[in-house]
Amino acid sequence: MPRLFALLALALASTVSAAGPAVMVERDIVYATADGEKVRLDLAKPTTPGPHPCVVCLHGGAWKFGDKKDLSRVGRNPDAIGTTEVVVTKHASLIEMLANQGYVAVSVGYRLAPKAKFPAQIEDAKTAVRFLRANAKQYDLDPDRIAALGFSAGGHLAALLGTTDKTVGFDGPLYPDQSSAVQCVVDFFGPTDLTLYTEAEGIEKAYLAPFLGTRYSTKPDVYKKASPLEHVSKAAPPFLILHGTADVIVPIIHSERLQKKLLDCGGTCELRTVPGEGHGWTGPVMLDTMTTVSKFLAANLKAK
């Protein structure tokens, strides 16, 4: 699973040329301290004046693995920790690519299972959004134009960002005067109904139980509360969902059900299927996918 997302990030870098303006990259920004652990994010922004719309990116890895670096360090020097630098590279990381398109792009680190149990991960994601709003002037971003984008487990968290408000209890105590709402969501093959994994005992035992701290048979309500599908309402922002038809880790039924419920509630949701692809894809297919993502972000953030 971790190698899958490293390859996915590499594919993003290899298919997108950083032909736009130079971008400023700042790494390892501490946005919260939770349970004694400093939680950090990496940020890339255009060098042109803002305020710019913002894209909050969430890595995958089954809530147990992965790192913010998966989406921010493709082709970078791994020893360049805590630095601010101007970057113009032949191949860009995801956040650099997005910054070249005019966004403040952020790769958010979040606490991982099994040490940190749900809802720690979504609390961290929401805290990161509120931190960015609280520091909008410092990072030259528009607090009224923020998107969530995530892959797999990160897609699950992005979908929760788009479907839950503070009444659900996922917000945490920091930056209470700021909203954690996002204005649109890009969900790459994220799980949306965690109760479906009760039919896959191996996956439930290996990934869901360490993340949620329990088995479905013991506490079914926890699985439901952690499922974006359970929180859909007409208040949800526009969604773009991308999913391979041959995905056996997160079957496409997750995205189909989420799209149906969003549409039934009167929301906006496009499901872009990728025929024959599994849990992630590379090369020209990824380039085409990112073109779709770029158009969606432009329509829902830049047009506002």
- Domains: count for the chain: 1
Q: Helices H, strands E: what count in the chain?
A: 10, 9
pLDDT tens digits for 245-263? 999 999 999 999 999 999 9
Model confidence at 228: pLDDT above 90:
yes
Instruction: Provide the pLDDT confidence category of residue 16 given band limits of 50, 70 and 90.
Output: very low
Residue with tokens 């090369």: 283
Model confidence at 225: pLDDT above 60:
yes
Q: What is the CATH number of the domain that holds 188?
A: 3.40.50.1820
Residue with tokens 């130079």: 22
pLDDT tens digits for 93-130? 999 999 999 999 999 999 999 999 999 999 999 999 99
CA distance 201 to 161: 27
**DSSP structural state of residue 51:** P
Identify the helix (H) or strand (E) that includes residue 287. Answer: helix 283-297
| Token pair belonging to 146 | 């923020």
Per-residue b or e along 219-233, where b marks 16 or more CB atoms closer than 10 Å to that residue's CB: eeebbebbbbbbbbe
* Predicted pLDDT at 80: 34
Model confidence at 291: pLDDT above 80:
yes
Q: Which residues partner with 26 through β-bridges?
A: 43, 84
| Token pair belonging to 221 | 């309500």
* Predicted pLDDT at 198: 87
| Token pair belonging to 29 | 């920004």
Query: Residue 248 burial (CB < 10 Å; 0-12/13-18/19+)?
Result: exposed
CA distance 250 to 227: 13
In contact, 63 and 121? CB cutoff 8 Å: yes
Model confidence at 171: pLDDT above 90:
yes
Note down the domain range covering 279. 2-302
Please provide residue 171's backbone torsions phi and psi, each rounded to the nearest 5 degrees: -75, -30
Strands of the sheet with 23-34, listed across from one edge: 84-87, 23-34, 37-46, 104-108, 52-58, 141-151, 184-188, 239-244, 269-274
Q: What is the 3-state secondary structure (H, E, C) of 242-284?
A: EEECCCCCCCCHHHHHHHHHHHHCCCCEEEEEECCCECECCHH
Instruction: Provide the pLDDT confidence category of residue 21 given band limits of 50, 70 and 90.
Output: low
Identify the helix (H) or strand (E) that includes residue 186. Answer: strand 184-188
Helices 2-15, 283-297: crossing angle, 10 deg rounding: 80
